[in-house]
Structure 1
Amino acid sequence: MSRVVFTVPASFLLTGEYFVTEPGQPGLAIAADPCATVLIEPAQTLCFRSSWGSSAGSGADISWGSSAGNGPGSNSACNAPQQITADDSPLLAAVLDEWQQAVGSLADLHWPAAAGRTAPLQGARITVDTGRFFHADGSKRGFGSSAAACVGFCTALAWLHPNSRSFDRRRITGIAVQAHRRFQGGRGSGYDVTAAVYGGAGLFTGGDCPDWEPLPQLLPLLSPLWLLNTEPVSTPQSILGYSGFRHRHPARCEQLRQRNVLLHRQLAELCDTPRPSAADLLQLLSRARDIGIELGREIGVPAEPSGTLIQQLHEVPLVKAVGAGSETLMVFGHPRRPAPAAEPLLPLPAGTPLPSSLHPEEP
């Protein structure tokens, strides 16, 4: 085996809003195309490469170790893992710090021994390409690029571990969520990391190590889906706004929180029916949209379309914000392109992110 290639999907929170940043609070999340691509190749030492900015790999690019022109197993010096700091890459530094704290030394990782070789190579080169998560000008599309990169690096490290079979999806989720929170300064629910690890649709429950209940029966009911990107919104600032609202108006926040809990209880009941309908799901998503709009107004971060988009989308069955504020809008139940800037979204089934050689017993 000369290399391992796998993909990590984008992730979207359909319901749950900022409540999922609190332990025990539920939300509905999905994994979808586009995907990040992860490449693991044999090398003489452990080195990393991350690229973004376009699908071709141009634009912003940071390399550690061997230059892009050196092939696998070259003798070019790679930076020792302990030399990689937040100045090199805040995200990779967070991943490596969390890995060493939760698992152990990076010196234990290596490319597996091949048939006819008495010992494994001493390292590997890990490349994570999130180019499809960015616009042509290098701006983010709001698809969870840092979460996908975090999952990609953590899964690659798990594949290189001598006891790789001990890393099931829950363990990788725990490591990747904590690493991503390090990168985000301690904030973040972890829904994006969790959805990227498990794939498909699922009921997410926030917490130190988030919980995930797969809901595969929802995927056929969600199609077709369309996405619209508007103006970027700062997720950390939005979460701070929610935190302030929660402390200033606890009774009002609790009222909205309980409506969110009830909605997800009814969503679970819908999934337990023999033949859940798209119309019933759309009704629940409409109620989630209303909760999101009310919450957005309370924290001063609007979660509804504005300006010319309102006119373009007036005949659409449902439009709901699925990112911070109205940064990313998802259009449900419309058979044709609802607006010139809308792009189709393809939800992906469960089981897509991890390389099959890491977990051969999983689909």
Structure 2
Amino acid sequence: MVSISTSAPGKLFLLGEYAVLDGAPALLAAVDRRARVTISDSESGSWQVSAPNLGIVNLALGGDGGLPSGLDAAGRSKLRVFDAVREAVLARAPRPARPLAITMDSGALSRGGHKLGLGSSAAVAVALTAALATALDLDLDREALFRLAEQAHRRAQGGVGSGGDVAASVYGGLIRYSRGAVPVPLRWPEELSVLAVVTGEGALTTRLVGRVADYAAEDPARYRADIARLAGLAERAEASLADPDAFLRLAGDYFSALTVLDTHARAGIVTERHHELHAVAQRVGGVFKTSGAGGGDVGLAFSHSGEPAERLAAALAGAGAAVVPLGFFAAGVHGGSRS
């Protein structure tokens, strides 16, 4: 083996966030910011890992690539996805692993050092699973790759999350995703435009989801009512793609239902800035909503294509909101061949 290179896209939840955790479907789009992994035989004779955007360069690892015993808590946290994927792939590899040098880079999924909520850890998990599987002659079809990467990512995240971000990174494009089901590819209507908008400096997904879980334990009846409201809207998402006006109404209704959930959970999903941008979009015929966990992560602005989209972009710029230059519906995980 000379070198193996893989890449996997980030993602954005268009509709269905939080409800997807309770079995409702979600719409996700892969975006053209990609995590990249390169693997080669180690020239030093021992396992090494580098993650330049995390400040890790040529870290010497233990046997079979295990994290060194002297690594501090911060270093272990940065490499928790790496370690979970390494362990999952090695447990299934058909032959013993030789020492490898591994480089991971997810810097493209952040902005000015702040995360955007594009699913960088999931994209790394997918790209690394694909690269390690190739290096160790583990043959995985797309569904098997998803299952293995999702299992490892869930373990690294402490069991939190829906798996939708992993699915988007594997399958790419626009998908309908439900937990436990194979993702369904969909087509985005040309009549609709979507923009990604910076809303803060990033949010910790596990913290926000954890606060909602606390609310579910404290007031299960009201939580179930809030999630049922979101789930009912999420069930209409796929059909609404056939009618741009219906989709825009649905996106607005979903933001309102998320606001109710957040008010009850006191989680910080919907911020004052989100409400400001929602009002800005509404004044020009568009819709703004949070995406994914919410908080300071990137939000979404929807409108009809053409002149309405230009008007919406101008209104957002006038409100001081930066639009992130993203290509939506990008290809899924790529690479894995030896070069």
* Corresponding residue number in structure 1 for 2:36: 37
Q: What amino acid is aligned across from residue 85 of structure 2 in structure 1? A: V
Give the superposition deviation at 1:8. Answer: 1.0
Give the superposition deviation at 1:21. Answer: 2.4
Q: What amino acid is aligned across from residue 292 of structure 1 in structure 2? A: L
Give the superposition deviation at 1:38. Answer: 2.3
**Separation (CA, whole Å) in 2 of partners of 1:234 and 1:315:** 31
Decide whether aligned partners of structure 1 residues 314 and 262 sit closer, same or farther in structure 2, where only a CA change above 3 A counts.
closer
Matched position secondary structure for 1:257: helix
Q: Which has the higher helix share?
A: 2
**Which residue among 163, 180, 185 is the counterpart of 1:214?**
185
* Corresponding residue number in structure 1 for 2:14: 14
Decide whether aligned partners of structure 1 residues 323 and 266 sit closer, same or farther in structure 2, where only a CA change above 3 A counts.
closer
Q: What amino acid is aligned across from residue 265 of structure 2 in structure 1? A: I
Percent of aligned pairs with the same amino acid? 26
* Corresponding residue number in structure 1 for 2:146: 173
Q: Deviations over 1:243-274 (max 9, x none)?
A: 12223333322223233333233223345xxx
Residues 61-76 of structure 1 correspond to what in structure 2 (within 5 A)?
Answer: 61-65=56-60
**Separation (CA, whole Å) in 1 of partners of 2:93 and 2:120:** 26
**Separation (CA, whole Å) in 1 of partners of 2:264 and 2:191:** 31
- Listed as ranges, the gaps of 5+ residues in structure 2 are 304-308
- Listed as ranges, the gaps of 5+ residues in structure 1 are 54-58, 66-77, 110-121, 359-363
Give the superposition deviation at 1:157. Answer: 1.2
* Corresponding residue number in structure 1 for 2:257: 291
| 1:293 and 1:302 in contact (8 A); partners too | no
| 2:27 and 2:238 in contact (8 A); partners too | no
| 2:196 and 2:324 in contact (8 A); partners too | yes
**Which residue among 51, 60, 67 is the counterpart of 2:55?**
60
Normalising by structure 2, we get a TM-score of 0.81
Matched, 1:198 2:171: yes
Q: Deviations over 1:182-221 (max 9, x none)?
A: 21122222111111111111111124xx641111x12645
Give the superposition deviation at 1:299. Answer: 0.8
Normalising by structure 1, we get a TM-score of 0.76
* Corresponding residue number in structure 2 for 1:251: 221
| 1:30 and 1:347 in contact (8 A); partners too | yes
Matched position secondary structure for 1:324: coil
* Corresponding residue number in structure 2 for 1:113: none
Give the superposition deviation at 1:222. Answer: 4.8
Q: What amino acid is aligned across from residue 59 of structure 2 in structure 1? A: W
Decide whether aligned partners of structure 1 residues 85 and 356 sit closer, same or farther in structure 2, where only a CA change above 3 A counts.
closer
Decide whether aligned partners of structure 1 residues 270 and 85 sit closer, same or farther in structure 2, where only a CA change above 3 A counts.
farther
* Corresponding residue number in structure 2 for 1:355: 335
Residues 145-184 of structure 1 correspond to what in structure 2 (within 5 A)?
Answer: 145-164=120-139, 167-184=140-157
**Which residue among 104, 109, 113 is the counterpart of 1:133?**
109
Give the superposition deviation at 1:235. Answer: 1.8
* Corresponding residue number in structure 1 for 2:306: none
Matched position secondary structure for 1:162: coil
**Which residue among 324, 328, 343 is the counterpart of 2:293?**
324
**Which residue among 70, 74, 81 is the counterpart of 1:91?**
81
**Separation (CA, whole Å) in 2 of partners of 1:197 and 1:253:** 31
* Corresponding residue number in structure 1 for 2:51: 51
| 2:208 and 2:268 in contact (8 A); partners too | no
Matched position secondary structure for 1:287: helix
Matched position secondary structure for 1:320: strand
* Corresponding residue number in structure 1 for 2:63: 80
| Count of residues paired in the alignment | 315
**Separation (CA, whole Å) in 2 of partners of 1:219 and 1:199:** 16
| 1:6 and 1:37 in contact (8 A); partners too | yes
**Separation (CA, whole Å) in 2 of partners of 1:83 and 1:5:** 21
Decide whether aligned partners of structure 1 residues 177 and 201 sit closer, same or farther in structure 2, where only a CA change above 3 A counts.
same
Q: Detail structure 1 runs of 4+ shifted over 6 Å in the superposition.
A: none
* Corresponding residue number in structure 2 for 1:115: none
